[in-house]
Amino acid sequence: MGNDIGYDLRRLLLDCKESGIDIQLRGNNLKVKGSKVREDLYLLIKEHKKDIVYAMQHLPDAVETHYVSRLRKGREWMDECMKRLKQDTTNTKLSDTLVNNMIKWARIDNELRRLYPEYRGCPLEDMGGCDKSYAPVRCQHCGDQVIRKNNDYEITQR
């Protein structure tokens, strides 16, 4: 971590995301999937491949220090809160606090991906991912994985 990418490259990554173009890093290569409607973006991805790979491999320090570490701590708190709520289901103060923190957690995850579109993956990967938790929230990456699996399943059922 340590470097920050320029505005134009960040704008390109955001435009791709908004257009439904998914860019994943595979070693030093990019795996690009999505709508063919925006061929202009595919040309720009090809033109800036080296910069995109570099940006995805060298995330800014703020990604870890300000976002990912906060998301991990928040998730640990939510897990503990869920355990306590299972023992005392009448604790409305704790329940309300949990809901407010779940919303805050989702906003932080959203902000991370909006400000640093070069960030990919689950911020809880080191903790086993979103599925290894009591808390009923998922990061955008894991939520998107579930949607993709469900869409793939629906397609194969037709």
Question: Total structural domains in the chain?
Answer: 2
Q: Is 20 left (phi over 0), alpha (psi -120 to 50) or beta?
A: left
pTM above 0.75, yes or no: yes
CA angle 96, 99, 101 (to 5 degrees): 110
- Indicate whether 80 and 33 sit together in one domain: no
Does residue 144 share a domain with residue 72?
A: yes
Q: Which domain holds residue 123?
A: 61-157
pLDDT digits over 28-48, tens only? 899 998 888 889 999 999 999
Question: Does one domain contain both 83 and 152?
Answer: yes
Q: Are residues 40 and 69 in the same domain?
A: no
- CA–CA dist 106, 121 (Å, integer): 15
Does 1 reside within a domain?
no
Query: Residue 112 and residue 118: Cα distance in Å, rounded?
Result: 10
Assess whether 117 and 145 both reside in one domain: yes
Environment class of 123 (CB within 10 Å of its CB; exposed 0-12, middle 13-18, buried 19+): buried
Tell me, yes or no, whether 27 lies in a domain.
yes
What is the dihedral sign for C-alpha 74, 77, 81, 82?
A: positive
Question: Do 32 and 50 reside in the same domain of the chain?
Answer: yes
- Among 41, 57, 73, which residue terminates a domain? 57
State pLDDT tens for residues 57-105: 999 999 999 999 999 999 999 999 999 999 999 999 999 999 999 999 9
Residue 112 in domain: yes
